[in-house]
A and B are shown apart, each in its own frame.
Chain A
């Protein structure tokens, strides 16, 4: 009890120094949390992907299309339940900075397959009935203040021209990690327009999305689909949705590794800050510890004082870090919502905070404690503060 009282009072003996140390721990932990959340957001698409969906694209590259005629052949593969398709549209709303992902999709099948996008039956029917209809995620609608019935123009980049859409539905995500910032419109609208303006680009799709009856057979089905188009002009590459998403992430793997490394460097930095504080503290109190030893206090009690103080500082930083991570992540997510549509802090991060704070607190105190114990009483009493 006495040691606890002493630890508490000693910790706040140099209020400014302790406050600055705690502040640096808080900043470092929040930065660590944000960096880990950035990595998590990167993988949000992977986490949200379904085991019962496959993606087929051109084997050369995603930028090369596939004939629409493949749809019926894929449908004939044993184990395939539904086949949908779509194109990356790449339209811009008013200004390039208003970036959001937009796709032309088969209106009859796409939302059957993507069951995590929840639309009311009325909205779905309205979308299906209107050739120029579009559906957007609620986060995107909120961002631009769109309401059902609003007219939304997109400037085409891959498919030139101004494309007019009418908002017919706003979907919500079934899961927390469902991306609610996507824009979908009817593929038929795109195709019919292309038939008139650029006939050579018509009847071609960017990707097929395949729903399978049994996720356990997914590998066999990917092989079967690709075998169908072997040695054709447009060979296919079929993979699970998860693998498809991961292939996107692998393009930016170096960046993710760099972020991971930086997040660990942050922990090493707070270790150095805390160690510096503890080293200064113990050096200043060398004579005091010598007095404690003189009075009969043993090494264990001296260590308890030093480790206790170090841990109190780092754990206070940890608690404040936890408290501030949510608002910081909220602000970060709002500011960079275009790049990270799903920016959710992983609750497990707080266990990591606690473990890191514990590790930093102990590590920072080891050397000062060892020095404090090792110094003789006579030598300690001679030290001038």
Chain B
């Protein structure tokens, strides 16, 4: 009989186990993952990850028999990717283990799977311009005509709204036998104006339909010419929970206990570049204060404040480490050490340009320097120059997290710019290429000895 747990509790348990594993507390990690495996079903999205980390935890904990048994279970699993991992790891654990011989038909598949994935070459603006002319022009022209139609609808409805309000104002003043004044006209305008705003919003929504699928997804495909990345304009609720966990784990906004109350995410890109798994999305993290829950569990009359709006990136870091390191922009808030004491000690680094741009806090002076090698510092300076924005980074539990705040919604169709001109497309391309190129820019694929 499986115990029942909410998806939030399952995520939290997984996160705790994962953290214990990365911090070298293998006994606790084993306990947590064993408990998790009793709770979740084999089809669960966390099942394989839990099994995989549990095998490694058993191995580190010198429980080789258990590790081999679990590995055999994974190797016999129906999912090809999981089974392959199980077989490879089993060969490492047990030298006597013979990998199953692949048949001629699937040996090619295996070869394709095991071949290291190529990293992405950055594309130039000229290449992108050519791509737009050859592939996106039709969609862009259609979008431009939709934009003009939307603007015209909004303008005509606005004029009609003003005329209607004027007629209403005159009629009402005659009926009430009062003089028409500007204030009275404004009063009469309130209702038509509200209706006009609602109409405009729906027009803009209709205008944006299909934009992400036709334009943004194609730009992602152009940058990722090896087809290693997936694009999703919106993700499901459970993925939202996962992003909340990642954002909390990154501790970029606050310590590990301050979780955002709500999160909106769109334009999610995930997959593998070279040897590095990555995920990034445009997110808005919110804190909700006050209010109460109604009988349906919906929060009523609350106050929302935005904690973070912008791009959030997560990838596995090439070096293993146990402590936390935070690379923050060198602004007044970050200079106030008492406010940042929870992030650890101030780490003074040697690169003057890096020190001018960033302020580093971390738990360990040595491990922070181990992560921030002179090479990575140079790359971060270059990345910061390229982004032309504040960049926040954290290195926690073997992962690198990156957050770039934006005060507007990215990857949306522009209403006031000609969509057949190159300017808006250039912005989308540069923002996407900046994030996808992070793996190359920060050299996250560098794994010298496997």
A and B bind:
no
